[in-house]
Structure 1
Amino acid sequence: MKSYSKLLILPFIAVMFSCAKEDELSTKKAELEAKKSEASELRASIESLEKEIAALDPEFGKMNRKSVLISTIKPNKEHFQHYVEVTGSVLSKKNVNISGEVSGRIQEISAVEGMRVRKGEVLAVIDAESVQRNIDELETQMELANIVFEKQERLWNQQIGTEIQYLEAKNRKESLEKNMAGLKTQMDRTKVKAPFNGTVETVNVRMGELVQPGTPMFQFVGESDLFIESDVSERYVGIVNRGDSVEISFPSINETLKTKVTAIGTIINPNNRTFKVEVVLPNLSYVKPNMISVMKINDYENKDAVTVPNYLVLQDSKGDYVYIVENDMSKKRYIKRGMVYKEITEVLEGLDGSETLVDKGFREVGDNFSVNISQ
C-alpha cells in the first residue's frame, strides 16, 4: 500500500516543479523586455542630448561622432553621349505580292516558301493552250500574208498593178506581225517570273487553280533595299533629326553596325503618340526582313562633361546632391543634373571634376561626418 502511495506522489511533485520553472522563465522574460525598453529610451535620450550639444558646440560633435569607413572615387571628365534607344523591325522596299497577268489554270509551280531565286527565274506557269492556238492560227495567216506581199512587191517594182494593192498587202502583213508580237508577249506572261533577286515568303496558289489577272500568287521579298522602321515617342520631336548618327544592333545574331537616320515621319500616330523613323541598311547577308533590331540614336553629346555614377546622386527637398570628402569630413554638395544615360549622370553645375566623392559607405555618412578612407 505504501509503495502505491509513493507512485501517486511522484507525478504530483514533477508537475509542481515544472510549474515553478515556467513561472521563473516568464518572470525573467518580462524583466528582459522591461530592461530593453529602458535601454531604448535611454539611448534615444542620449542621442537627443548629443544632437543638442553638437548644435551648440560643433567641436563636441566632431569628437563624439565615430568615423565612418568609406571608399572614394573621382568624377570623370569625358566625352558624354546620350542615346535614344528604340526597337525596330527590318523591312524591305521590295516586299511585293506577285500576281498573274493572264487568265488560266496553274499548270506548274516551281517555287516553294523560303526559296531564294534570281531575277527572271520562273516561279509558276499558267496554262497557255488558248494563247498557243491563237499563235498557230496567226502563223498560218502570216504565211499567206507574206506570200501576197512578196508578189505585190515584185509587181509594184515592175510597175504592174496599183499602189493601193501594194499598200493593202503591206499593211496586212505588218498588222499580223504586230498581233503575233502581242500574242508572244501574252505567252511570255503565262510564266510568272521573279522581278528581282529575293526570297519567296508565301505561295498563295495551288496546282490546277484558276487565276485571273491581279490574283496574288506569291509574296516576294527582295534581298536589297532593306531598311529599319521604328516608332519614336513624340517627346523626341525636334531632338531626333535626319542625319543623326545611329548604332544598330541585332540581338538575335549579336551584330552591330553604324549608320544614319534617313527619314523622319511628319505625322504623329494618335494611337500611341509616336512618329516614324527610318534608317536605310547596307546590303548585309546576315540581315533578313522582319528581324528585330535595337536602334541607338545619338541625340546629345558633351565633349567635356563631368560625370558621376547614378547611384551616388541622392535627393532631398532642396534638390540633387552627392557627398564629397574635405579634410576627412563628408560634405553634402548640391549639383545640377544634366542628361542621364544608363549608369552615368552628367553634372552641369556643382562639380568641376577635381573633387573626391564618397563611394562605398555613402548611405552611412551625412553632412560633416568624420570619415576614414579605406586604402
Structure 2
Amino acid sequence: MRITQHLYLPGHLLLLALLMACNSKEGSPNATAETQAGPDEIRISSDQFKEGDMLLGNPSERAFGETLEVSGVLDVPPENRVVISAVQGGFVKSITLLVGDEVRKGQQVVSLENPEFLRLQQQYLETREQIPYKEAEYRRQKTLFEEHISSEKLFLQAEGDYRSSLARLNGLGSQLELLNFSLEAVESGNLSAVSPVFSPISGSVTRVNVRKGAFVSPASEIMEIVDRDHLHLELTVYEKDVTRLHKGQRIRFGLPELSEQQYDARVYLIGTSIDENRTVKVHAHLEGDSKPDFLVGMFVRASIELGDAPGGSGQNQWLSLPESAVVTKAGQSWILILEEKQESGYLLRQMPVVTGLSAEGFIAVEGEGLGPQSKVLIQGAFNLVEAP
C-alpha cells in the first residue's frame, strides 16, 4: 500500500519562502560573474578601480645601462672640517655653543684664561720700550765707529743688541696675534689674561669636547666645526670593478635608513691606491639644487651607471614598466594584464615576469605575450596579486 503525506504551510510562511527564492535568483548573476574568473584572473568593479586609485598603462622601450652597486658615506673636503684647539694652554673661561649650532667665520667660539698671557703682553711692552734707546745707541756707535772714535767691538755690540730687541719684539707680537690679542690694544695699556678663540670657517658645530673651567692644552680638541656647503659622496669600490669607472659617470644614490628617494651625483675622482680591504675610494659630486639636510657621515647606497665604460656592456633597449607595476611575492615577480574592459568593471590576469635592470623608477621586464600594446595595471597592483 502506498501512503502519501501532504505538507500544509500557513499562508504567511508560504509568501516568505517565495520572496526569499526571488531574492536568491536576483542575486545570482553577480555570483556567476565572480565564478567566471579563472584561477589567475581577478575581476574588480569600476568603483573599486576608482577608489583604489588604480591606473592602466603600456610597457615602453627604454635604454638601461649596466650599473655597479656600491655603498659609501656623505663627507666633506678636509678644508671644510676644522678642529678648534688652543695655541697655548689655558682654562676655559666661556663656551656657549652646543652641537648643531651654526657659526660664522670669525665668530668667537670659546675663550681661554691663563696668567701667562699677561706675562707675554708685559714682555712685549717692556721690549717695545727698549727699542728707541737701543736704536739710538746703535746709531751713535755707528757714527763713532765711522769717525774712528769708537772701536768696532762696541759698534757690533750695540748693533746686536738693537737687532736682537727688534727680533724679540716681533716674536712676542706674533705670539700675541696667534692668541688673538690686538697689538694696538696692548700698546695702549689694555692687558688681559683672557684669549678669545675664533672659528676659521662658517658651518655647524658637530662636536664639543670641553666644559667651562676645564684646562685645555695645545693638543686638546675643543670642538669640531663642519661646513656642509661642499658635501660629496665617498664611495667604496672593490678593486675588480675599478677599471670599469671613469670621471663623469652618472650615479643614483639614496639614504636607505631614511627614505626611498633617489638623488643624482657624478664620479669626479677615482683613487689610485688600494687599501687593506682591497677597495678603492671614489669621490663623487652631488648634482641638483633641491637636496634635503644631508649630514656628514650618513650611509648611502649608490648605483654607478657604467654606460660605455671599459668593461661595461653599454646601453640596451628593454621593455619596461614602472616599478609600481611589478609585485614580487614568494620569490616570483608578477604583473596584472587587462584581459577585458566591461561596463561593470575590469577583468585582469596575473602574468609571471622576469625582471632585469632598473633606473629612474622603471624596471626591465620579460613575459610571455607581453608587448608594447599590452594594457598593464601600473598603479594599485600590490594588494591584488596573490602568490600561487
TM-score by structure 2 length?
A: 0.54
Per the alignment, do residues 223 and 163 of structure 1 end up closer, same or farther by CA in structure 2, a change over 3 Å counting? farther
Distance 2:218 2:286 in 1: 34
Per the alignment, do residues 220 and 181 of structure 1 end up closer, same or farther by CA in structure 2, a change over 3 Å counting? same
After superposition, where does 1:62-81 map in structure 2 within 5 Å? Answer: 75-80=59-64
Per the alignment, do residues 147 and 103 of structure 1 end up closer, same or farther by CA in structure 2, a change over 3 Å counting? farther
Q: How big is the shift at 1:207?
A: 3.4
Percent identical among aligned pairs is 22
Distance 2:113 2:352 in 1: 78
Q: How big is the shift at 1:300?
A: 5.5
Higher radius of gyration, 1 or 2 = 1
Whether the 8 Å CA contact 1:336–1:350 is kept in 2: the answer is: no
Across the aligned residues of Structure 1 and Structure 2, the Cα RMSD in angstroms comes to: 5.2
1:304 to 307, 310, 317: 317
Per the alignment, do residues 283 and 199 of structure 1 end up closer, same or farther by CA in structure 2, a change over 3 Å counting? farther
Q: How big is the shift at 1:255?
A: 8.6
Distance 1:268 1:298 in 2: 21
Per the alignment, do residues 336 and 286 of structure 1 end up closer, same or farther by CA in structure 2, a change over 3 Å counting? closer
Whether the 8 Å CA contact 2:93–2:213 is kept in 1: the answer is: yes
Distance 1:323 1:223 in 2: 48
Distance 1:283 1:299 in 2: 17
Name structure 1 gaps, 5 residues minimum. Answer: 1-65, 326-332, 365-375
Whether the 8 Å CA contact 1:225–1:283 is kept in 2: the answer is: no
Whether the 8 Å CA contact 2:353–2:365 is kept in 1: the answer is: no
Matched, 1:258 2:268: no
Distance 1:202 1:312 in 2: 44
Distance 1:90 1:268 in 2: 19
Distance 1:334 1:208 in 2: 70
Per the alignment, do residues 231 and 170 of structure 1 end up closer, same or farther by CA in structure 2, a change over 3 Å counting? same
Q: How big is the shift at 1:245?
A: 0.6
DSSP-derived class of the 1:147 partner = helix
Who is 2:295 aligned against?
289
Aligned residues between the structures: 288
Q: How big is the shift at 1:148?
A: 1.4
2:89 to 103, 106, 123: 103
Whether the 8 Å CA contact 2:356–2:365 is kept in 1: the answer is: yes
Who is 1:119 aligned against?
105
Q: How big is the shift at 1:244?
A: 1.9
Per the alignment, do residues 117 and 339 of structure 1 end up closer, same or farther by CA in structure 2, a change over 3 Å counting? closer
Q: Deviations over 1:341-360 (max 9, x none)?
A: 6662244x987946757879
Per the alignment, do residues 141 and 277 of structure 1 end up closer, same or farther by CA in structure 2, a change over 3 Å counting? same
After superposition, where does 1:115-154 map in structure 2 within 5 Å? Answer: 115-123=101-109, 124-127=111-114, 128-154=117-143
Q: Deviations over 1:264-288 (max 9, x none)?
A: 5665785xx9865432347979645
Distance 1:241 1:190 in 2: 46
Who is 2:357 aligned against?
339
Distance 1:70 1:207 in 2: 70
Per the alignment, do residues 321 and 99 of structure 1 end up closer, same or farther by CA in structure 2, a change over 3 Å counting? closer
Distance 2:280 2:168 in 1: 52
TM-score by structure 1 length?
A: 0.56
Name structure 2 gaps, 5 residues minimum. Answer: 1-35, 44-55, 181-196, 308-314, 340-350
